[in-house]
Amino acid sequence: MWDQITALFTVGLFQNTIRNATPVVLAAMGGLFTEHAGIMNIGMDGMILIGAFVAVVFSFLFASAPMGVLFAVIIGIAIGLFFALFVVKLKADEFVIGTTVNIFAGGVTVYLLRSVFHQVGTWVSKDIKGLAPIDIPILKDIPVIGEVLSGYSLFVYLSWVFVILVWIFLYRTPYGFWIRAAGEHPSALETAGIDPVRMKFLASVLCGIFCGLAGAHLSLGYLNCFTEGMSASRGFIAFACVVFGMANPPKVFGAALLFGFLQALGLRLQSVGVPSDLTAAVPYLTTVLMLVYITVSANTKKRNRAKKEMKAEEAETAELAEPSA
């Protein structure tokens, strides 16, 4: 039994952890912007799916992975503008618009895949050019560490850099401050002469860009094909990571790594006889538990805060009553 347990924790497990976590990290970095801007963007799953499809289409048409990535970013910007137009400008319900994006993404990708490219289920072609793996000099020669950290596509390494850059942008630049102010104190931001609507649009566009990159990585840097519904609720996982990480880039990155690890571990557990249906549910069950924990913690903090305020009011009332006595 112990041998079976130790056999699970191999280099392959940690390699799959990084591969599985990367699209979630990229989408979650985008979700950070809308979260700070006061927008609940549950349409990230649809953004990822459309980004993955567009990346494959233009990689196929131009026989070029960079062109696929470029058009995935462009479609991400377009969807981000669409989302902001309805949610920010027209004041539509963000939950309804997010759900609409997800449903539309699932339907339009299947329709185009079957009617235009005459493919059903999975589209695999030698003309789809994927992102080549990168072997890092010196690092690749280090035993175990080199195997775990080297040999991935460009987006794996970019996702690590983006965690740092997003933190710097949000907390060390004027635009990051304005985006956060647009979600927390829009009236104060407007008083300072900055349009909060413009900042919310910017946040939505940045979210679309990162989700487009997540989709491009999924179809060109990970699997090198397109499969119907291949986003597999990663957008919802990314949203949960943003909430669980309290919209802080390093914490969100850690939550995404946890998801990637659980997904990779689930695949490994199948080799020791655990049913695949059960192992596939582990990452999503963990996500639900994360959200339950967040909700319970938030309610506990609210109750504790209310108790402290009540005690403070009682103490103040007692002090006021003393002189009259």
Give the Cα separation of 204 and 84 in Å (integer). 6
Read off the pLDDT of residues 175-203 as tens digits, 9 standing for 90 and up: 999 999 999 889 889 988 899 999 999 99
Position with higher pLDDT, 296 vs 298: 296
Position with higher pLDDT, 313 vs 180: 180
Please tell me the least confidently modeled range out of 146-150, 275-279, 298-302: 275-279
CATH for the 11-132+154-315 domain, from 3.40.50, 1.10.10, 3.30.1360, 1.10.3470 = 1.10.3470
pTM, 2 dp: 0.86
Q: Would you say 109 and 57 are in contact if contact means Cβ atoms under 8 Å apart?
A: no
What are the domain boundaries of the chain?
Answer: 11-132+154-315
DSSP notation for 105-166: HHHHHHHHHHHTS---SEE--TTS--PPPBPPTTGGGSTTHHHHHSSB-HHHHHHHHHHHHH
pLDDT band of 8, cuts 50, 70, 90: low
Question: Quick one: which of 47, 91, 325, 89 has its CA closest to 207?
Answer: 47
Give the Cα separation of 305 and 310 in Å (integer). 9
Read off the pLDDT of residues 75-88 as tens digits, 9 standing for 90 and up: 999 999 999 999 99
State residue 76's pLDDT score: 96
